[in-house]
Structures are given as C-alpha cells and as structure tokens.
Amino acid sequence: MATALQTQTVDLVARFPEKVTADSRAGYSGFIVNKENLVEVATALRDEFGYDLLSNVTGVDYIAENKMEVVYHAFRTTGGPGLVFKVQVERVDPIELPSMVGIWAGAEYQEREIWDLYGIKFTDHPDLRRILLWEGFEGFPLRKDYKEGFFEEEAKPFKSRWPDGKHVFAEMKNPFRDNLKFPENFDPESYQPEDEKDLYASLERVSKPLTEGEMKTDHIVVNMGPHHPSTHGVLRVAVTLNGETITGLKPVMGYLHRNHDKIGERNTFLQIIPYTDRLDYFNSMANNFGYVTTVEKLMKIPVAERAEYIRVIMAEMSRIQNHLIFVGMLINDLGSMYTPSLYAFEERELILDIFEAVSGARMMCNYFRFGGVVRDVPEDAMQKIKDLVHDRLPAKIDEMERFLNQNEVLVARLTGVKVLNAEDAIRYSVTGPVLRAAGVPYDIRRADPYSVYDRFDFDVAVRYHGDMMDNYLIRFDEMRQSLRILEQALKQIPEGPINSQKPQYQVRVPAGEAYGRVESPKGELGFYVVSNGKPNPYRYHVRAPSFVNLTALETICSGSKIADFVAQLAMLDIVMGEVDR
C-alpha cells in the first residue's frame, strides 16, 4: 500500500493567508509560498508543525511560464506523510532566493547543487560555490535552454541517429569534434583557469581559530583524494590540520558527476530504469524500487501482488549485501587489509547469483517495471533464496559477528569515537542507519510505509550512542531484521501474475508531480518526477541519501583525529555514483 504524500495534514493557507496559496495546477499538490515570506513560513513549519527533517530541495525550470521553481519536501521524524512547499521566481538573472540553511542545515549542499545546475542564488547561504562542476564552467546545465556538446534532440528516442541508414558519430556533428562547448571567440591559449582559492577561502572560514593561551602551531591543509584508496571512490576532501586534529573540512565532489538528471529528462520513463541502477551501484534493486514507486504514484496504477513480494525480497537481499560490504570495507579502512572483505564478498556473490538468475545481470539488474517486475523468479532461484535466508546467511552473520565484534583493536578503535548525535543528525537531514544509530527510530518502511512493508513484523533497528561502534553494530541489527522480513515474505508470497500492466515500451504518464521515497540501505532515497504528459519526464531529480548525508561530514569530523577520518567517512557509507549522480 502506498501512502499518498499528497494528503495534507497541515493547512498552511489558513495559517498564512495572503502569504501562501495552495498549488492548484492539475496533478500538483502542496503550497506555493511567497518569496518574501519563505523564511517565516519555513520557521513555522519546523517549530509549530514539527516538520524537522527537510529531506529534499530541488529546482524546476518552467521555461514556458518564464518561471523558476524551488521545491521543498519536509517530513516529521515521528513519521507520516510529508509536506511540499514551493517558491516561484521570475526567470530573469540574477535569480535570488533566501537560503534555508539557517532553518534546516541539511539544505546546504542541495542549495549549492541548485546554484550549480540552475543558477539560482541563495542569499545568506554560508558557502555558495559550485558543487558538482568546477568554478569557471560555462552555463547552468539543468536549465531547459542549455544545450550540451553532444545535443541532438530534445527527447528520446532520437530520430536523427540513422539519417541515411548509416550511423553518424556524435563527434561529427559538433564543431569541436568532441563533447565540448565553448563560448564564441574563445581563446584557449590566453585563458587563465580559476584556481581553487574559493575552496581554500571557505575552508579557512570554517577552520577553528586559535584560542587564547593555546600553543601557536602551524595549520596545514591536506587534500585527500580524488585518488585515494579509502575515500570510497572519487571523493576529495580538503582538511585543515592542527597536528593530528582536524580543525576544518570541506568535501569536494563532482568527480563522478555523470549528468543523471539531464540525461534522465531526455530519456523516456522506461529508459530511466537502467540509469537508476548506476546511482548506488551496490543496490540497483533499491534504486529501481524508488523510481518505479514514484512513477507508479504518478500513473496511479496498482502493482501485482506477487511482484510486490518479489520487490521486497530483492530489496532486502540487496540491503544485506550492502551492509556486508559495509562491514568488510569499514574494517579495510581501519587497516585490516582485505581479509574481512573477502568474507563479505563471499556472501555477496551468492546474493548476486540470485540477482543474475532473475534479471540476467549481476550488478545492474534493471529488474523492476511499472506495475511489477520484468520476469518471475525461477523455481531454482527461489529455492536458493530460501536456502540463503533460512540457513546460510543467519549463520554467516553470526560468524562475522563472532570473528569481529569482540576483537580488541576493533572495539578500541570504534567505541566512543563520535559520529553524530540525534539533534545534529536531524538538523543535517541525515537519514538511514546513521540517523538510527543516533537514537532516532526513523525508518521509511515504518514511518511512511510503501509497497507491502506494512504487512511484515519487524523492528526498526535503533541504537542510542551515536558513536562509531553503534553505527557499526546497527548494520548487523538491520541485516537480522532484513532476514526477518525475508522469512515472512517467502512464506506469504502468493502465486499470480508479476505485472499488473501489459508489457509496453512507452508508458503513458499523466501530467503532474510526484515525490516517492524508499528506505535504501543508505538512507532515504527519493525521486522527484514532474511529467507534462509527454513520453519524457519534464523534471527528474534524485534525492540521493549519500549526497545529503555528506552534509554532516564537517560536523562529524571536526575535532577528531585524522586517523579516524576514514572510518568516520566509512560510517556514512557513501557511494560516489549516488553522491555525484
């Protein structure tokens, strides 16, 4: 059962007459707030109505109406549906809006992303720099009038690919013979690239100054990454160090920015599914789940009963596999090179075997479809799942726990080293295991149930210290809960069709907007999709848990030792495909 996000529990219009209007466009919901009153309304939402978690902030470019819109999705950590509010501005540069960072600190990176890709300036934002692209990049790519180097047509499927029955290379159509785009009369020889003074200036700003009476020491700036074995991909972190202590920190990302949103807006709805696989490439099943849930909400179609169970089974298997890798990689980062990872990967391979059996691919499954899944689970694969869930995995998780959790070095490294407390975690919009390890029992499967999660008996794993040990142990708790869900799902799964719709290449999606979210192993994975009735989404945005969780990294690490930094970063369990998209 999908709960409708659209159910409004708060009447903002009554509370703020003249300042707020209901969004009356067909298929849309929520409220439109006047730009001047945005801060006032947002503060009231947080303090009076209890919407303490600003989960998603994104922009939409309504070029036909000459408007830019910024959409906010706020939720309560006590559960229930969310609240959507929007603010609209004229599409005339400079476009300016008040920043939300003072109210919900979790908006910081998301607003930077909007500045980067839409060119909307957030006044009083503490650190407004480009985030995914580099300073000096020409243009704001997500604006509808931005055409990239290899631009062919507005929407897929392209008609021009085979003009004379012969393939034409995209390179041949571009004046620069490559995926490039330069301003007119650009002279590369006299061009002076912008250095990274902005980055170091903002690093300087956040770095703690010397206090009176403290010994005067040199502060050094260290850059980790983007090529570093422990940054889980191509993340770069600029750190100011006082001796071994981190006094300031700024992550630099975008090294894997593959233009997910822009490509998604050109794709048809169905074509996006394989792209979602490549967001969080450990959990393609969870990503598929989030996307199809959102589009189904928009299409208002039911999901076949058997498919719901298959989806849950795949998503939970994916979670177990993700947490196993987390444990292996964390201990890898702590210095126990590779051995625990080998144990983790052994089990992961068995789960990937099942994914391969049902979908044909180990990692990039592309398995979900609107209304169901693409294929039924073969009999032998079902047997394999049962063997894994009933026998092998519980024993292996116990085994891992026995090998690792009493290890003196591990316990000493993890216990008492801070990650986040509950208050900061909510403020920074952190979701997933990190939030739950801080003592907030917020799990979307329970707080705002989707699919058939309301039929299963499971506990929301929660721990209360918010230190590294709790963050580590909660992954084991979650694996156990996933096994519980899996056992029930395997028992309850009905026979029947696996898709409520006919197989189709082109789906009809009515105009409107939808925000769907699922509890991915990393946190709240949300998709914001706007359709205008055409075969391609008008706006397609991914609220990636890894990206938003990174907002808290500065707070997590400041004051810690540099040696703990890699482990603290590992606790956030980021995946660069999702951070940079």
Partner 1 sequence: MEENKYEGLNLPNYNIPEDIQNVVSITTIDRLYNWGRRWSVWPLMFGLACCAIEMIAAQTARYDMARFGMEVMRPTPRQADMMLVSGTVTKKMLPSIIRLYNQMPEPKYVVAMGACASSGGPFKEGYNVVAGIDKFLPVDVYIPGCPPTPQALIAGMIKLQEKIDKQSIKKVRWYEKGKVDSNYVPMPILGPDLIDVRRNTEIKQAAAAKEGA
Stretch of residues binding partner 1 (CB under 8 A), selected from 296-304, 346-354, 442-450, 527-535: 346-354
| H/E stretch holding 43 | helix 38-47
Residue 274 found at the interface with partner 1 (CB under 8 A): yes
Exposure pattern of 536-573 as b/e (b: 16+ CB <10 Å)? bbbbbbbbbbbbbbbbbbbbbbbebeeebbbbbbbbbb
Neighbouring-strand partners of residue 31: 22, 85
Task: Indicate the residue among 435 and 525 with the shorter CB distance to partner 1.
Answer: 525
Q: Let me know if 474 is exposed, middle or buried by CB neighbors in 10 A (0-12, 13-18, 19+).
A: buried
Residue 258 found at the interface with partner 1 (CB under 8 A): yes
Q: Which amino acid is located at 549 in the chain?
A: N
Stretch of residues binding partner 1 (CB under 8 A), selected from 35-43, 293-301, 361-369, 408-416: 361-369
Residue 28 found at the interface with partner 1 (CB under 8 A): no
Helix (H, G, I), strand (E, B) or coil at 211: coil
Tokens 């706006």 identify what position?
Answer: 539
Residue 183 found at the interface with partner 1 (CB under 8 A): yes
Minimum Å gap between C-beta 438 and partner 1 is 28
Residue 179 found at the interface with partner 1 (CB under 8 A): yes
| H/E stretch holding 357 | helix 339-359
Stretch of residues binding partner 1 (CB under 8 A), selected from 104-112, 359-367, 424-432, 552-560: 359-367
Q: Which amino acid is located at 279 in the chain?
A: L
Task: Indicate the residue among 19 and 228 with the shorter CB distance to partner 1.
Answer: 228
Taking the C-alpha atoms of residue 404 and residue 476, their distance in angstroms, rounded to an integer, is 11
Task: Indicate the residue among 351 and 498 with the shorter CB distance to partner 1.
Answer: 351
Residue 544 found at the interface with partner 1 (CB under 8 A): no
Minimum Å gap between C-beta 354 and partner 1 is 15
Minimum Å gap between C-beta 78 and partner 1 is 36
Per the structure block, which two tokens stand in for 396?
């292996």
Residue 393 found at the interface with partner 1 (CB under 8 A): no
Stretch of residues binding partner 1 (CB under 8 A), selected from 55-63, 119-127, 134-142, 480-488: 134-142
Residue 137 found at the interface with partner 1 (CB under 8 A): yes
Residues 277-336 binding partner 1 (CB under 8 A) are 278, 281-282
Stretch of residues binding partner 1 (CB under 8 A), selected from 276-284, 294-302, 414-422, 498-506: 276-284
Taking the C-alpha atoms of residue 306 and residue 310, their distance in angstroms, rounded to an integer, is 6
Residue 281 and residue 321 in contact, taking contact as beta carbons nearer than 8 Å? no
Residue 229 found at the interface with partner 1 (CB under 8 A): yes
Stretch of residues binding partner 1 (CB under 8 A), selected from 70-78, 135-143, 374-382, 389-397: 135-143
Q: Let me know if 296 is exposed, middle or buried by CB neighbors in 10 A (0-12, 13-18, 19+).
A: buried
Task: Indicate the residue among 157 and 243 with the shorter CB distance to partner 1.
Answer: 157
Task: Indicate the residue among 65 and 153 with the shorter CB distance to partner 1.
Answer: 153
Q: Let me know if 351 is exposed, middle or buried by CB neighbors in 10 A (0-12, 13-18, 19+).
A: buried
| H/E stretch holding 380 | helix 379-387
Residue 577 found at the interface with partner 1 (CB under 8 A): yes
Task: Indicate the residue among 13 and 363 with the shorter CB distance to partner 1.
Answer: 363
Residue 541 and residue 528 in contact, taking contact as beta carbons nearer than 8 Å? yes
Residue 346 found at the interface with partner 1 (CB under 8 A): yes
Residue 562 found at the interface with partner 1 (CB under 8 A): no
Residue 204 found at the interface with partner 1 (CB under 8 A): no
| H/E stretch holding 90 | strand 83-90
Residue 154 found at the interface with partner 1 (CB under 8 A): no
Per the structure block, which two tokens stand in for 223?
């850059």
Total number of residues binding partner 1 (CB under 8 A)?
63
For 462-515, the three-class secondary structure string (H helix, E strand, C coil) is CCCCCEHHHHHHHHHHHHHHHHHHHHHHHHHCCCCCCECCCCCCCCCCCCEEEE
Residue 162 found at the interface with partner 1 (CB under 8 A): no
DSSP state of 418: B
Q: Select from 88, 322, 341, 555 the one that contacts partner 1 (CB under 8 A).
A: 341
Residues 37-76 binding partner 1 (CB under 8 A) are none
Exposure pattern of 307-346 as b/e (b: 16+ CB <10 Å)? bbbbbbbbbbbbbbbbbbbbbbbbbbbbebeeebbebbee
Minimum Å gap between C-beta 281 and partner 1 is 4
Task: Indicate the residue among 81 and 274 with the shorter CB distance to partner 1.
Answer: 274
Q: Select from 25, 162, 168, 191 the one that contacts partner 1 (CB under 8 A).
A: 191
Minimum Å gap between C-beta 498 and partner 1 is 25
Residue 228 found at the interface with partner 1 (CB under 8 A): yes
Stretch of residues binding partner 1 (CB under 8 A), selected from 182-190, 411-419, 486-494, 525-533: 182-190
What is the Cβ-side half-sphere exposure of residue 371, based on CA atoms within 13 angstroms?
15
Taking the C-alpha atoms of residue 530 and residue 11, their distance in angstroms, rounded to an integer, is 23
Stretch of residues binding partner 1 (CB under 8 A), selected from 4-12, 119-127, 138-146, 455-463: 138-146
Residues 232-251 binding partner 1 (CB under 8 A) are 233-234
Residue 181 found at the interface with partner 1 (CB under 8 A): yes
Taking the C-alpha atoms of residue 192 and residue 379, their distance in angstroms, rounded to an integer, is 63
Stretch of residues binding partner 1 (CB under 8 A), selected from 93-101, 188-196, 453-461, 535-543: 188-196
Minimum Å gap between C-beta 124 and partner 1 is 28
Ramachandran region, residue 143 (left: φ > 0; alpha: ψ -120 to 50; beta: rest): beta
Residue 457 found at the interface with partner 1 (CB under 8 A): no
Tokens 């409004």 identify what position?
Answer: 8
**Residues binding partner 1 (CB under 8 A):** 132-134, 136-138, 141, 146, 148-152, 170-171, 175-189, 191, 193, 226-229, 233-234, 254-259, 262-263, 266, 274-275, 278, 281-282, 341-342, 345-346, 348-349, 362-364, 576-577
